[in-house]
Amino acid sequence: MLSTVLDILSGAAQEHEVLGDIPIQLLLAASKGGRMEVLPRLITTMADKNAPAFQHAVENGQLSIVEYLVNLQVHINVAPRANGYTSLQAASLKGYLEVVKLLVAQRADINAGPAKNHGLTALQAASLGGHLKIVKLLLDQKADINARPAITRGLTALQAASQEGHLEIVKYLVAGKADVDYRDLSEGKTALEYAREGGHLQIVGLLHNESAMAKYELYLAGAD
């Protein structure tokens, strides 16, 4: 059956027919089934082996396919769409540690900026997803802990972790000198306010103790 499908795909490619996501789905099926020997023929049916096949494999955590495509010298730093992610950002958000390690080893752009709408840097993505090991790895690789967020609905790494209640990540970011008092452009809120809205009381207490703004407000209250 797979051989027949491959023949159909190859013929369609030669006739310049639109293949859509069919080859990508076969890539995933071949990987899951351990059929790595069919990958070369599947790759040749795609008009562009760099995207979306590579991005799709990354977003699904298919390490074997990611490795295969990296060996074909795919472009791993393709800029995201208006509301998309780079390959490293996507892997960081999903928590695919081994994929992240591979991309970092291949010199993926650690500090690639977020897409304008709902975008995230790799560190912001890992912080939002609650993936502490990836957060540590990215910071070890000089990720910008205070990278500015996306214009629309963006969050800093600390704001993202605070909003989602990821206490250990918040502790790690605060220890790394994350800007506790930064207000995002979209909502105008600080990490403390995001934590308070989410009911994450331990994070609220931690950030309150670290916030210069909160300390100043207490000072003013005492002066009254």
What pTM value is reported for the model?
Answer: 0.81
Looking at residue 36, what is its pLDDT? 60
Q: Is the pLDDT of residue 180 over 80?
A: yes
Decide: residue 16, CB within 10 A, 0-12 exposed, 13-18 middle, 19+ buried.
exposed
User: pLDDT tier at 75 (50, 70, 90 boundaries)?
Assistant: confident
The boundaries of the domain holding residue 49 are 1-76
Considering only residues 48 and 83, tell me which one the structure prediction assigns the higher pLDDT: 83
Cis peptide before 114 (omega within 30 of 0): no
- On whether residue 166 sits in a domain, the answer given is no
Look at residue 164 and tell me if it is in a domain: no
In a domain, 66, yes or no: yes
Q: Is 42 within the bounds of a domain?
A: yes
What confidence tier does 181 reach under pLDDT thresholds 50, 70, 90?
A: very high
Distance (Å) of CA 47 to CA 2, 17, 26, 168: 20, 10, 15, 44
Please tell me which residue, 212 or 172, carries the higher pLDDT value.
172
Over residues 21-49, mean pLDDT: 58
Q: What is the average pLDDT score of the chain? A: 82
21-41: average pLDDT: 59
Asked if residue 14 belongs to a domain, the reply is yes
Is the pLDDT at 57 greater than 90? The verdict is no
Task: Report d(CA 6, CA 45) in Å as an integer.
Answer: 9
Q: Is residue 25 part of a domain?
A: yes
Instruction: Tell me whether residue 51 is in a domain.
Output: yes
Least confident of 153-157, 173-177, 213-217: 213-217
Predicted confidence (pLDDT) per residue in 88-118, tens digit = 999 999 999 999 999 999 999 999 999 988 8
- Is the pLDDT reported for residue 175 higher than 90? yes
Closest CA to 97 of 145, 129, 142: 129
Domain count, the chain: 1
- Tell me if 197 is assigned to some domain: no
Residues in the chain: 224
What's the 3-state SS for the chain? CHHHHHHHHHHHHHCCCCCCCHHHHHHHHHHHCCCHHHHHHHHHCCCCCCCCHHHHHHHCCCHHHHHHHHHCCCCCCCCCCCCCCCHHHHHHHHCCHHHHHHHHHCCCCCCCCCCCECCCCHHHHHHHHCCHHHHHHHHHCCCCCCCCCCCECCCCHHHHHHHHCCHHHHHHHHHCCCCCCCCCCCCCCCHHHHHHHHCCHHHHHHHHHHCHHHHHHHHHHHHC
103 touches 87 (CB < 8 A): yes
| Measured distance CA(77)–CA(66) in Å, rounded | 13
Q: Is-contact 110 104, C-beta < 8 A?
A: yes
d(CA 1, CA 102) in angstroms, rounded, equals 33
Q: Which residue has the higher pLDDT, 217 or 201?
A: 201
* Residue tagged 């800093």 (tokens): 156
- Residue 130: the pLDDT is 99
